[in-house]
């Protein structure tokens, strides 16, 4: 114990001599043996701290890292969400859509000013009935010859009428006879007259329809509807556009429905009700 209590103090010269080598030294085992610490737990020996002789040594000790005996666990935070990039992409997409809509609107406005499109006009000039008979089983056979006038009022737009059209004469919502338009091209400022034959056989009707029809025939005022669905292509100058579908509806009133009789049409309101892509 006498040897343990003796202290060996380094001199200033030694401290300055070994100051350069202190940075490269690793922490070593404590100076006090573990056996002596376990045997003399009750004695607390203070370790004196001597001030350095110059500021150089103080600065050297202050720069030494503090080495902990216990490793601190490392916690990794999740990567940040890329909100900025998503918002940027969304804004770019919205701006692109707005620009596209604006470009289409401007193009349509220019085309409208250049070509000045107008709606085609349709009308029914006359109706001839070749057959109209009601059988005992309430089945109806009929044949109508309809003269249709189609007028294109546009100066720079042509219309191609394509195959696949459907025409029908209706009474109280029931199709009496059907037919189709021929395929043709209608030029600028052109009026075309079409003779279309519509035929129907075995069309079932009801007793109420027969009673109402007979009463209207006696009055000389029978309402009929003409339905026309026709595919077309529009020609703008030399440019042919995509296929469209015209739907024309005509409200007609005839004085009689007798075969081979002189039928007059008192009302013939026709309009282009819808254009479908």
Q: What does pLDDT average to over the chain?
A: 80
Residue 57, pLDDT above cutoff 50: no
pLDDT level of residue 42 (50, 70, 90 thresholds): very low
Residue 99, pLDDT above cutoff 70: yes
User: What are the helix (H) ranges across 40-129?
Assistant: 55-62, 83-115
Average pLDDT over residues 159-186: 95
Q: Other CB atoms closer than 10 Å to residue 143's CB: what's the count?
A: 18
Pick the more confident residue, 72 or 242. 242
In which region does residue 164 sit, left (phi positive, over 0), alpha (psi from -120 to 50) or beta (all else)? left
d(CA 166, CA 74): 79
Per-residue pLDDT at 40:
46
Percent of the chain with pLDDT over 90: 52
Which residues partner with 44 through β-bridges? Answer: none
Per-residue pLDDT at 89:
85
Q: To which residue do tokens 């001599």 refer? A: 17
Least confident of 30-39, 77-86, 127-136, 174-183: 30-39
Residue 184, pLDDT above cutoff 70: yes
Structure confidence by residue, pLDDT tens digits, 220-254: 999 999 999 999 999 988 888 889 999 999 999 99
| List of long-range contacts for 107-114, beta carbons under 8 Å, 24+ apart | 111/236, 114/156
Residue 38, pLDDT above cutoff 80: no
Nearest CA-CA partner of 214 in 170, 263, 251, 258: 258
pLDDT level of residue 4 (50, 70, 90 thresholds): very low
- The gap between the terminal CA atoms of the chain, to the nearest Å, is 109
> Kindly report the CA angle at 10 between 7 and 15, in degrees rounded to 5?
155
Phi (first) and psi of residue 264, to 5 degrees: -110, 145
Per-residue pLDDT at 39:
45
pLDDT level of residue 24 (50, 70, 90 thresholds): low
Could you write out the three-class secondary structure of 84-109?
A: HHHHHHHHHHHHHHHHHHHHHHHHHH
pLDDT level of residue 37 (50, 70, 90 thresholds): very low
Average pLDDT over residues 164-173: 95
Per-residue pLDDT at 122:
94
Per-residue pLDDT at 90:
83
Structure confidence by residue, pLDDT tens digits, 12-21: 555 555 555 5
Q: Annotate 173-195 with b (16+ C-beta within 10 A) or e (fewer).
A: eeebbbbbbeeeebeeeeeeebe
d(CA 269, CA 123): 7
Structure confidence by residue, pLDDT tens digits, 105-140: 998 888 788 888 899 999 999 999 999 999 999 999
Per-residue pLDDT at 231:
96
Structure confidence by residue, pLDDT tens digits, 254-276: 999 989 888 999 888 899 988 88
Per-residue pLDDT at 267:
80
Longest dimension (CA), the chain: 150
Per-residue pLDDT at 86:
78
């Amino acid at each position: 114990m006498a040897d343990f209590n003796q202290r060996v103090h380094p001199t200033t010269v030694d401290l300055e001599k070994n100051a350069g080598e202190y940075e490269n030294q690793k922490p070593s085992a404590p100076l006090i043996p573990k056996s002596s610490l376990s045997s003399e737990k009750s004695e607390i020996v203070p370790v004196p701290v001597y001030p350095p002789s110059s500021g150089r040594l103080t600065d050297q000790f202050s720069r030494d890292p503090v080495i902990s005996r216990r490793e601190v666990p490392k916690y990794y935070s999740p990567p940040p969400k890329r909100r900025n990039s998503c918002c940027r992409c969304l804004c770019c997409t919205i701006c692109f859509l707005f620009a596209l809509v604006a470009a289409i609107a401007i193009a349509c406005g220019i085309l409208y000013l250049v070509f000045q499109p107008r709606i085609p006009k349709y009308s029914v000039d006359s109706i001839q009935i070749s057959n109209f008979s009601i059988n005992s089983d309430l089945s109806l056979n009929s044949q109508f010859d309809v003269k249709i006038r189609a007028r294109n009022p546009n100066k720079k737009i042509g219309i191609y009428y394509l195959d696949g059209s459907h025409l029908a004469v209706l009474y109280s919502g029931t199709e009496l006879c059907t037919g189709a338009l021929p395929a043709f091209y209608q030029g600028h400022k052109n009026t075309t007259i079409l003779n279309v034959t519509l035929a129907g056989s075995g069309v079932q009707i009801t007793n109420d329809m027969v009673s109402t029809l007979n009463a209207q025939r006696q009055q000389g005022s029978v309402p009929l509807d003409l339905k026309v669905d026709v595919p077309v292509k529009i020609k703008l100058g030399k440019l042919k556009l995509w296929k469209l579908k015209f739907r024309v509806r005509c409200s007609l009133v005839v004085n009689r429905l007798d075969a081979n009789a002189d039928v007059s049409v008192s009302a013939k309101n026709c309009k282009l009700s819808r254009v479908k892509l």
